[in-house]
C-alpha cells in the first residue's frame, strides 16, 4: 500500500532564507528516485512502505545537517491508509471532484432561488 508522508525540515538558528540549506534534502530525494512534491512549507513523498518513507525523511534530514546546519527540527505527518490504494494524485482528484460538485450545487440552488 502507498504511504504518503509530509515533512518539514526547519534549520534552527540560521539565516532568514533557508533555501540553500534545504536544497540538499530535495537533491537526496531526487537521487533516491522517490516521488515527491515540494511546497513552500513542506515536502510530500509517496512510498510503498512506511519504513522506506521514513528512511527517505531521515536521509533528507541528514543532508540538511551535512550542509552545515548545527540544529534542525523535522516535523513529520504520515497518511498510512491500508484499506484502499490511494496516491497523492488520487487524493487531489477526489478534492477537485468535491469542489466541482459544490460549485454545481451552488449554481443549481442559485438558479432555483431566482425562479
pLDDT of residue 87: 87
| Average pLDDT value for residue range 17-39 | 95
pLDDT band at 114 (very low <50, low <70, confident <90, very high): low
| Average pLDDT value for residue range 53-70 | 96
Q: Of the candidates 4, 27, 21, which has an alpha carbon nearest to the alpha carbon of residue 69?
A: 21
The pLDDT tens digits for 17-26 are 889 999 999 9
Q: Three cell numbers at 94?
A: 477526489
In angstroms, rounded to a whole number, what is the distance separating the alpha carbons of residues 38 and 6? 9
pLDDT of residue 110: 61
Q: Considering the entire predicted model, what is its pTM?
A: 0.82
In angstroms, rounded to a whole number, what is the distance separating the alpha carbons of residues 34 and 70? 26
Going by the DSSP 8-state scheme, the letter that residue 67 receives in this structure is T
| Average pLDDT value for residue range 29-34 | 96
Provide the residue ranges of all domains of the chain, joining segments of one domain with +: 3-84, 85-115
Domain 3-84 has CATH 3.30.70.930: yes
Number of alpha carbons in the 13 Å side-chain half-sphere of residue 100? 6
Amino acid at each position: 500500500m502507498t504511504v504518503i508522508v509530509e515533512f518539514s525540515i526547519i534549520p534552527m538558528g540560521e539565516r532568514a532564507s533557508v533555501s540553500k540549506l534545504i536544497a540538499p534534502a530535495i537533491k537526496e530525494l531526487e537521487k533516491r528516485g522517490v516521488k515527491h512534491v515540494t511546497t513552500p512549507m513542506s515536502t510530500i513523498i509517496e512510498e510503498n512502505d512506511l519504513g522506506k518513507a521514513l528512511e527517505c525523511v531521515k536521509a533528507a534530514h541528514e543532508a540538511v545537517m551535512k550542509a552545515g546546519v548545527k540544529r534542525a527540527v523535522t516535523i513529520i505527518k504520515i497518511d498510512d491508509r491500508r484499506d484502499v490504494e490511494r496516491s497523492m494524485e488520487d487524493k487531489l482528484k477526489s478534492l477537485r471532484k468535491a469542489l466541482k460538485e459544490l460549485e454545481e450545487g451552488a449554481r443549481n440552488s442559485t438558479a432555483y432561488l431566482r425562479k
